């Protein structure tokens, strides 16, 4: 079980969590569920596998029948060949805690932006506290009564932190309302988590547009809101999170003109990252703007320094001084009296 856990962590390092998902819609006392089943290895034959290349149930049949860690290595090698990685940087190391050894490595010494590595701690904690078979739930609730196909009340989407919740699940929510005979909502649709956090006295900065944690569902790192439907959806999202109480909204990788229109449409402050200068404020990842790495740099980033070369030279100098023992010097060390040393045995 522990070895399987380490294999899952490798997937998390690339922001692809192949966990079973259950989106559960609760409409008062009525529950509608949809599940994505994880196929058992013994039931897999030939080319009958699903086409989703980012879940454990779509791995090559041979890799699932091999012993661990060979199956894990084959699975990860195959995964890294996916087209989505053509514009991505991937580096990983899988460490077997029982054997105390490395069982898989891929560009593990590549300098990377550290932001998303914190998700490993979240993933480890989730696996430890929730277990590998835990199923995330998302609920749809409403208030009021249904009269002549009109819901005289509000609709609440109660999130359960499901990392794979996507537009298809939301469409299933809408269909469940239609199945109940509702075609008009006379109330509002609420983003419950933002509202609850704000009511607890915690300020919220929402994030719309390109959300890195959902990049797999978005089809890669792409500009968002370029079609009429997508642009309107972005504006609607901004209005929804502002109404829920977010005091600011981060707009990432959005056309400048659209970001300006969003800014004019909501009372919340807008913070742009790859969204033009029409937002109320700007933000960049400091590792990007200071040139920490020499790899891929997004178009919207301007490097104000090249610290990669500076740091690399500093590391080389540090290594050399440690090896020839010119560091640390007396000025970098602490003293102890000879009298104390003489009393030691």
Active site residues: 252
* Torsion over CA: 161, 58, 8, 212 (sign): negative
Length of the chain: 345
Which residue is it, tokens 């390109």?
Answer: 210
Please state whether beta strands 184-185 and 150-152 pair in parallel, antiparallel, or not at all (unpaired).
Answer: parallel
CA distance 235 to 162: 23
Contacts 24+ apart (CB under 8 A), 106-114: 106/76, 106/80, 110/295, 111/292, 111/293, 111/294, 111/295, 111/308, 112/293, 112/295, 113/285, 113/287, 113/288, 113/292, 113/293, 114/287
Residue 205's contacts (CB-CB under 8 Å, 6 or more residues apart) are: 246, 247, 248, 249, 250, 271
Strand partners, 21: 36, 136
CA distance 173 to 138: 10
Residue 184's contacts (CB-CB under 8 Å, 6 or more residues apart) are: 149, 150, 151
Burial class (CB in 10 A: 0-12, 13-18, 19+), 35: exposed
């Amino acid at each position: 079980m522990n070895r399987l856990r380490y294999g899952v962590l490798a997937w998390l390092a690339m922001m692809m969590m192949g966990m079973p998902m259950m989106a559960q819609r609760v409409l008062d006392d009525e529950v509608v569920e949809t599940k994505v089943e994880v196929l058992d290895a013994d039931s897999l034959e030939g080319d009958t596998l699903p086409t989703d290349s980012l879940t454990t149930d779509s791995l090559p049949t041979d890799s699932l029948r091999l012993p661990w860690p060979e199956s894990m290595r084959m699975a990860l090698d195959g995964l890294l060949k996916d087209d989505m990685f053509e514009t991505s940087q991937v580096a990983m190391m899988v460490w077997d805690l029982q054997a105390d050894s490395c069982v898989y490595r891929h560009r593990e010494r590549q300098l990377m932006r550290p932001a998303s590595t914190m998700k490993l701690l979240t993933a480890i904690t989730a696996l430890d506290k929730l277990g590998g078979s835990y199923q995330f739930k998302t609920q749809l609730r409403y208030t009021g009564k249904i009269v002549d196909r009109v819901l005289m009340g509000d609709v609440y989407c109660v999130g359960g932190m499901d990392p794979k919740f996507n537009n298809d699940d939301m469409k299933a929510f809408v269909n469940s309302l239609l199945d109940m005979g509702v075609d008009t909502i006379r109330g509002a649709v609420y983003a419950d988590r933002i509202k609850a956090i704000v009511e607890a006295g915690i300020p919220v900065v929402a994030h719309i547009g390109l959300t890195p944690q959902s990049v797999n569902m978005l089809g890669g790192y792409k500009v968002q809101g370029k079609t009429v439907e997508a642009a309107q959806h972005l504006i609607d999202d901004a209005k929804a999170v502002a109404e829920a109480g977010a005091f600011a909204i981060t707009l990432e990788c959005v056309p400048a003109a659209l970001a300006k229109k969003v800014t004019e449409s909501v009372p919340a402050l807008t913070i742009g990252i790859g969204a033009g200068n029409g937002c109320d404020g700007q933000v960049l990842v400091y590792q990007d703007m200071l040139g920490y790495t020499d790899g891929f740099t997004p178009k919207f980033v301007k490097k104000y320094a090249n610290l990669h070369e500076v740091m690399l030279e500093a590391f080389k100098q540090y290594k050399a001084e440690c090896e020839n023992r010119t560091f640390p010097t007396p000025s970098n060390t602490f003293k102890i009296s000879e009298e104390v040393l003489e009393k030691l045995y």
